[in-house]
Chains A and B, each alone.
Chain A
Amino acid sequence: AQSVTQLGSHVSVSEGALVLLRCNYSSSVPPYLFWYVQYPNQGLQLLLKYTTGATLVKGINGFEAEFKKSETSFHLTKPSAHMSDAAEYFCAVSLGPSGGYNKLIFGAGTRLAVHP
């Protein structure tokens, strides 16, 4: 069965520092992987996604993630954190054919704090 593990429920970085949010997945089929961001009192917004093709995926707001099949990982990075990046980040995997590829399984989320 598919599952998602996000390592670290809280991550704190300094403004300008590297952001690294970790996501590992398990999937019995080739996965489709997503990162979403949730700002306070708002819905989730897609940052980026991997479906097929290039394993390094670039998203909005300077974020990128790399799909590493051998490590079953899809870590999210940003070279330089900005105060506006403070939010909660969710990694998600799409279920395979048994779920019609329509069902997303979300990780527990990582809350990113950025301090001056």
Chain B
Amino acid sequence: DAGVIQSPRHEVTEMGQEVTLRCKPISGHDYLFWYRQTMMRGLELLIYFNNNVPIDDSGMPEDRFSAKMPNASFSTLKIQPSEPRDSAVYFCASRGTSFTDTQYFGPGTRLTVL
């Protein structure tokens, strides 16, 4: 298996622009998680999906952030409009049905907002 795939790997944009991050989970996994990693706040869970349905978005920082999962093999995290404080590494992870299953992380997208 190719593992969790994220694109782009690096994104540089200007403040105010829309940013879309993409994730393809491991086939057969029915949970998908979006995390953000920063020096100040560490690794934070933003939102997670089960069978394409958002279950908990309490970690989404504000309305500028939105996430979708239109099908089992694709998810997006969108920031509109972007701000410099959104600069971080964003990880997608997927997991099987059981909560004791392993979460597999993608390589991350490094976002820089100028």
Contact = CB atoms under 8 A, between A and B. Distances in A.
A100 B99 CA distance: 8
Contacts of A102: 31, 48, 50, 55-56, 95, 99
A98 to B, nearest CB: 11
Contacts of A45: 105
Q: Is the interface on chain A under 10, 10 to 19, 20 to 34, or 35 or more residues?
A: 20 to 34
B102 interface: yes
Q: Which of B45, B55, B107 is the most central at the interface, judged by chain A CB atoms within 10 Å of its CB?
A: B45
A56 interface: no
Interface string B70-107: 00000000000000000000010101000110111111
A109 B41 CA distance: 11
Interface of B: 4, 31, 42-43, 45, 48, 50, 55-56, 91, 93, 95, 99-100, 102-108
17 contacts: A32-B100, A42-B108, A43-B93, A43-B108, A46-B103, A49-B100, A51-B100, A100-B56, A100-B99, A101-B99, A102-B50, A102-B55, A102-B56, A102-B99, A103-B45, A103-B56, A109-B43
Interface of A: 32, 36, 41-46, 49, 51, 90, 94, 99-104, 106-109
